[in-house]
Structure 1
Amino acid sequence: MRPATTAIARIARRPTAPARTVTSAVDNATIRPVMSEVSPDHSPPSVLPPPMIGDSQPPIVPTPTQSPATNPKRLWWALPILTVSWLVLLTVIVAGAITIERWETAPGSVDAVSPRLGFGTGAAEVTRYPSKNSVRFVTAYGSQLTALEGFVGWVDDDIAVETKIERFGERSPVEQRRLGFQAMVGAKQIAEYVALKRLGYEVALNYGSVVVEQVLCDDEPTPDSACKVLNPGDVIESLAGTPTPTLDVLVKAMEGRRVGDVVELVVNTLNSNPSETRRNEKVRLIASPDDPKRTIIGIVPADTRTVDVPFEVDISTDSIGGPSAGLAFTLALLDELTPGNLMGMSKVAATGTIAEDGVVGAIGALRQKAVAVKQSGADVFLVPKSQTPEEIASARSAVGSSPTIIPVGTLDEALTALKKFGGGSLPASSSLPAS
């Protein structure tokens, strides 16, 4: 073991190295090229060792890098795409704001009738059986379209797009709405008459004025055809000198007349001063489009009948127009005024007009109403048997297997169909009160 003093002495005798001059590394920095290419064998690029500070090799300090200037040629494609995008957006905005001369018929609402029923004067002694599973009535929406809505309607099979003539004929939209509301009033009246009569109540049906709802033209109308001289809303007061205060009187006045006969009508305008609007018109009679052997004036009369019933019935329909809810209203009244449940456990919707003899009549927009019923989740949809086979087939194709679409021709057929789906039966008329 060597003494410590010997080691210290040896270190002290070593020659002293000359002093070094230290130069700033930044001043002597050089830049080495960095290889970024991938080697042929796809090995990752080599990593340079950290710089060494010495006598002959100054340290390498990388200078700050700058992003290369954006090359305008690389963005040549962006300007056309941006321009087209703005044009498309502008087109959509404009198309959604401009209305066009087209109207839609689209799936509407499906509403339970029972909550809309009300009974007033004379109904104190009437027992009600409010239904928890009421029959539903169906509507179709209709409004003037914007250009955008028109495009959507044209590509949607469940929306019908119509011209003004196809939608209103010779009527104005205001006249159409007025006649639609009047038709709804008539549908309620006839539904009350049919239902209460079926239940054994004493009721009476009264005919109203002969009001023109729609004019009809044959293939070659003459200047004196009804479609040329009469207008929707006209009231026919007499035919060939015979007063025609009601439709049943007009029907009798037409007996024995032939196609081509010219008759003189005294015509007034509904809800106007007769002394100011009354006029005489000569009209050439035509054959009925449904029955060529039957002679008609060339009009479709509005239903202006009223009923006398033992108690007041109110069916709230808000601003809904048209007669197509007649069958649903009739079924709802029968269900409301009898024990049990005519609908059973099924969710039932119904559409169709109702006549005083219980016949179910055809309606419009069947496909759209069928789609609305499907969207509501109903199981059964009663429709008029008098619809064309094409209309019924179109409705069935629109909804698939549900709801089950059942064509019915009368109220009795509708009640029979409901029984097959678990619905109840009506009690005998003799067991119900009569006024």
Structure 2
Amino acid sequence: MPRRTATLLASTVTLLAILVAGVFIPVPYAEMSPGPTVNTLGEHDGEPVLHIKDRKTYPAGGHLNMTTVRVTGADYKMNLVEAVYGWLSPDDAVVPHESLYPDDTTAEEVDQQNAEQFTASQESAKVAALDELGIPFTTRVIVASVLAGGAAQGTLHAGDVIKAVDGQRVDGPGDVVELVTSHKPGEKVDFRIVPADRAEKAEKNGDDPRKLPGEDVTVTAKESDREPGKAMVGITAGTAHTFPFEIGIRLADVGGPSAGLMFALGIVDKLTKGDLTGGEFVAGTGTINPDGQVGPIGGIHMKTVGARDQGAEFFLTPAQNCATAVRDVPDGLALVRVRKMDDAMDALEDIREGRVDQLVECGE
């Protein structure tokens, strides 16, 4: 066999071997890519995304799209060829697998965490929207979660309404933390609560759970594993709300907290006359807290790409994501900087009135 032919054959065999190896060799990476966008004012899988009952609503035109990032599953084994392809793609991101799925966390735990964050974001969106509209509602302090193996396990339960700690009324989760940590490990902490089942029944009957008579329970504080000398009872205090009408958000297969801002704006639009967008295609992202503060999210570039691919012209961008977002802005998409709910409302007014030159954009 001529030397040249032999060399070519050897090179071909080597290349094929490398390609085959690349297909079968797993690498510790995961991939993020632009996910679907959903108009919060419209329908998804044949059902309205926002369902409001017992309150007058108004038709809403235009788009207020929430955006998503598609990620490979926790159990997916990426190979070397896929990783290289992802690295070369301008719209995708290949990241260490452990950054999305920590080694000490199961896939089920990640899914559960995302689901809980999504539920919490919906609650915060409702609060921010009704605050924006000046619609009153009630707030109560609850046991949001109980630490497995903690001092309160079996005594306090998620959903219990906390009326008082050590005889002192609590008006927010911070009051609970302050009163509990004023103790020393080994001391008893007295709680007055309305059990979760009674609170839920009262709310279904239209009654205020806070006004029900409480039950006294005692928990012996333990020492914090992370902060020696600090007392803890093994609960997370949170808030729950009773709204004057039903607000439902229906969106399957979505997790995490990043749609909060767009849900809040969608609710406001549905409850007010006219179109917040003026019929324009606006997309966006951002967490929102009950005070209307907008927080940063992950995967901002994938979300802007997904939004522009669907036709968005304006993208409401959390201020803390602006520095990353402006590095590679999709053509024809204006990145509007928002720090709070009021910023988003002002931006939508400018868009609606055609004052786009007054928008505060990322990079300004």
- TM category (shorter chain) comes to 0.5 to 0.7
CA 420–96 in structure 1, closer or farther in 2 if over 3 Å, else same: farther
Deviation at 1:194, TM superposition (A): 2.1
Q: Which residue of 2 aligns with 1:253?
A: 179
Distance in structure 2 (CA, Å) of the matches to 1:150 and 1:416 = 42
Secondary structure at 1:178 match in 2: helix
Distance in structure 2 (CA, Å) of the matches to 1:101 and 1:313 = 42
- Code of the residue aligned with 1:119 in structure 2: it is H
Matched, 1:102 2:29: yes
The 5 Å alignment of 1:407-422 reads 407-422=337-352
Distance in structure 2 (CA, Å) of the matches to 1:305 and 1:323 = 16
The 5 Å alignment of 1:256-335 reads 282-285=224-227, 305-335=239-269
Distance in structure 2 (CA, Å) of the matches to 1:323 and 1:101 = 26
Deviation at 1:329, TM superposition (A): 0.1
Secondary structure at 1:100 match in 2: coil
- Code of the residue aligned with 1:316 in structure 2: it is R
Secondary structure at 1:182 match in 2: helix
Distance in structure 2 (CA, Å) of the matches to 1:132 and 1:302 = 40
Task: State the TM-score, normalizing by the size of structure 1.
Answer: 0.58
CA-based RMSD: 3.9
Q: Which protein shows a greater Rg?
A: 1
Distance in structure 1 (CA, Å) of the matches to 2:135 and 2:316 = 26
Secondary structure at 1:283 match in 2: coil
Q: Which residue of 2 aligns with 1:336?
A: 270
Distance in structure 1 (CA, Å) of the matches to 2:35 and 2:231 = 35
Q: Which range is displaced more, 410-419 or 142-151? A: 142-151
Task: State the TM-score, normalizing by the size of structure 2.
Answer: 0.68
Q: Which residue of 1 aligns with 2:81?
A: 148
- Code of the residue aligned with 1:113 in structure 2: it is T
The 5 Å alignment of 1:161-176 reads 161-169=94-102, 170-176=104-110
User: Of residues 265, 289, 293 in structure 2, which corresponds to 1:359?
Assistant: 293
- Code of the residue aligned with 2:177 in structure 1: it is V
Give the gaps of 5 or more residues in structure 2: 163-172, 189-219, 355-364
Q: Which residue of 1 aligns with 2:335?
A: 405
Do the aligned partners of 1:209 and 1:235 also contact (CA within 8 Å) in 2? no
Matched, 1:383 2:325: no
Q: Which range is displaced more, 403-412 or 152-161? A: 152-161
The structure where helix makes up a greater share of residues is 2
CA 237–371 in structure 1, closer or farther in 2 if over 3 Å, else same: farther
The structure where strand makes up a greater share of residues is 2
Deviation at 1:255, TM superposition (A): 6.2
Q: Which residue of 2 aligns with 1:182?
A: 116
Q: Which residue of 1 aligns with 2:207?
A: none
Q: Which residue of 2 aligns with 1:136?
A: 65
Q: Which residue of 1 aligns with 2:166?
A: none
User: Of residues 295, 320, 324 in structure 2, which corresponds to 1:394?
Assistant: 324
Distance in structure 1 (CA, Å) of the matches to 2:254 and 2:317 = 19
Q: Which has the higher contact order (CA 8 A, sep 6+)?
A: 2
CA 238–80 in structure 1, closer or farther in 2 if over 3 Å, else same: same
Structure 1, residues 73-105: CA drift from partner, whole Å, max 9, x if none?
A: 5xx645554554465456445534554322223
* Count of aligned pairs between the two proteins: 298
Distance in structure 1 (CA, Å) of the matches to 2:39 and 2:50 = 13
Do the aligned partners of 1:211 and 1:236 also contact (CA within 8 Å) in 2? no
- Code of the residue aligned with 2:349 in structure 1: it is K
Matched, 1:119 2:51: yes
